[in-house]
Structures are given as structure tokens and as C-alpha cells.
Amino acid sequence: MVGDHGERLMSPGSALHGIPFVKMTGSGNDFVFFDGRHVSLERVTSPEIIQSICNRHNGIGADGIVILEPALPRADVRIHYFNSDGTPADLCGNATLCSTAMSAMLGLAGDSGMTLTTPAGLISSRIVAGLPEIDLQPVTSIRADMPIDLMPGEQRIGFAVAGIPHVVILCADADQVDVEGRGPLLRRHEASGPLGANVNWVSPMPNGHWRYRTFERGVEGETLACGTGAVATAVLLTSWGLAAAPTVTIRTSSGRDLNVRLSTTTEPLAGYQPTLRGEGRVVFRGVIESICADAAR
């Protein structure tokens, strides 16, 4: 960049030069990971910087970024998660699955069992048969029916808070839904609360599994998978009497499955204790060379 008097100015994004990162995916929900022991939060978490990193054309490309750091004595690891628009989020299910795998890889915790701390509470997790598995906080504020008008093909609309709020819509065929057209309206619907909610459409598959698609707040578009969305979807399907098995299998838009195991709980305002299991895979490792803040545009 050049200033008014012709002098060369340093781009805000030049502060990223030389930072190591890991790109991970959880069923197509992708993230850029940083080791908080070596990269400070202040260096990578301004909204402008996050948008630049997550830009899929001029940056690394991701649905969000994650910084992991030790959290002793309360937990093994602290997760800092930010959406691609730069906003912080209390919880992201797939980012937590990936965080479980990455924490073990970094030696921050043992893969047989660890405790992660998030703004949504403490999460116990582990690696089972090569896949990360996380125990989420009890699902709260379950509403089987929402005061939202149904569109053609939609059969029922419910709501649940699975770390973050979710609208869940039972429909005839999730693959035929206009997610980008319908999603923004429901994401900000007044019935979802002042901060809005993620929106999930779900329909049955012939094999007894379920197909879903998600419009995510903070990304403000459809993502290939949403871990907390899969949990909220499994909870509503169970509340509606449509899913009786203790494990509900949800097919993501990446073609991979997320498995949600539900047990009942007596906690106030909560009906289910969920365990989520799915992919947490390293795609590549790298070092940032040149990402400028104006790359977000």
C-alpha cells in the first residue's frame, strides 16, 4: 500500500507473515488452526484478519479459525473459535471434533480422554477407532414447534439450543431446498431470539438415516456440515418421535456421516445429553507467506 505522500505503508495482513497453520476438515466444515502456545490471539483474531484468512480466493479459505491453548488446571485445552466473518462463536461441533484430534496431535492432551473448555461450557472428548468423539452440554430450550409459517415441502419446524441456537425444519427432500434463499429469512426470524440461529433442513433417507443441510450464521451461507446442527436435528427428530434409535446418523453435504448418540438427562430445561462422533482430518500444513487484509474483498 502507498500513503498520501508516496511512502510505503505496511499492510495489516503483513503481521501474518511466517505464521504456521494447519487446515482441517470435519465432514467438509473446514477450519484454519493455530497453536496458541506460539501464535497470540491478538495476532490472528481481528475481524479483518479472520476474513482475509478465510477468504477462499485470496486467503487460505475456511468456514472459521481455531486457536488452541493449554487451559490447566480447569481443562486440558481452551478452544477459541471464530466464524469466517470474524465473529466469535460459543461453540462449533465440527471445530470441536477437529480440536480433539489436533489437541492429541499437538500433545496438549491424551487421545484416550481430554477436557476442552469453550464459552458454551466444558466438553469431554476422546479418539475412538480413529475418529474424534465429543460429549456436549445438555441440549436446552427444546421447542417441538415454532410460530413460523411453513413453505411448500416443509412439514414441521422446531428449535433447540445445542451450544448455539438452531431452527430445524422437517421437509420432504432436503436436497431440493433453496437454502440460500430461505436461509437468511429464518436465520434472523424473531422467534429465534435476538442473535438469530442456524437453520437446518432434514429429510429421511431410504436406509433409515437422515439427510440435512445447514445455513450457518456467521458464515451467512450454506456449509457442507454443521456438528451442533446435526445434534439439534437429532434432538428434534427424537422429540417428534421420528428417530427411536439411541444413535441418529446424519448425512452431510460432503457425503460423510455424523453420528449423534442421545441419552436422557434430568437437568432443568434439558431433555438430552448428546455425544457427537465424526471426522476431524488434517488436510494440509503450511506457513502463511502473504495474506493482506484487503484480500477479504
State the catalytic residues. Answer: 92, 226
What CA–CA distance (Å, rounded) separates 114 from 104?
9
What are φ and ψ of residue 234, in 5° steps?
A: -65, -40
Instruction: For the chain, give the number of residues.
Output: 297
